[in-house]
Amino acid sequence: MVTLPLMPKGDGTPVAGYDADRARLPLFYMNDFSRLGLRVHPCDAALRLLAEHHYDLVRSPYGHSVSLEQAAQLPELVELLARRGIACEIADVAETIYQG
């Protein structure tokens, strides 16, 4: 199973998106830690569309994530969003975590 955080694209608003700064980090990690996720705009429309198409959405204290049975489903998910005019990019959503 693959779980990808959903984050608003561009504005960083954590309202419906994933708050990577508060998410659980591995106990030990190197300075090059990253977390793959989806940056979408508008985020609320993406969440509604994925729910309508029965994608497994997970709500946590850190925001929303989408769970896929396998990584091979990712292109289908991105294509669905694009067909509905929702901007989507696969990106590192941990880029704002302080790594001192």
Phi-psi region of 54 (alpha: psi -120 to 50; beta: other; left: phi over 0): left
- Cα(2)–Cα(86) distance, integer angstroms: 21
pTM of the model: 0.75
Q: Residue 100, exposed/middle/buried by CB under 10 A (0-12, 13-18, 19+)?
A: exposed
pLDDT at 83: 97
Can you read off the two tokens belonging to residue 27? 């106990």
Domains of the chain, first to last: 2-24+34-92 (3.30.70)
Report the pLDDT value the prediction gives residue 62, as an integer from 0 to 100.
Answer: 73
93: alpha, beta or left, given left = phi > 0 and alpha = psi -120 to 50? alpha
pLDDT of 40: 92
Q: What is the pLDDT along the chain (100 residues), one digit of tens a residue?
A: 888 888 888 654 444 444 554 555 556 656 666 778 899 999 899 999 999 999 999 888 778 899 999 989 999 999 999 999 999 999 887 765 555 5
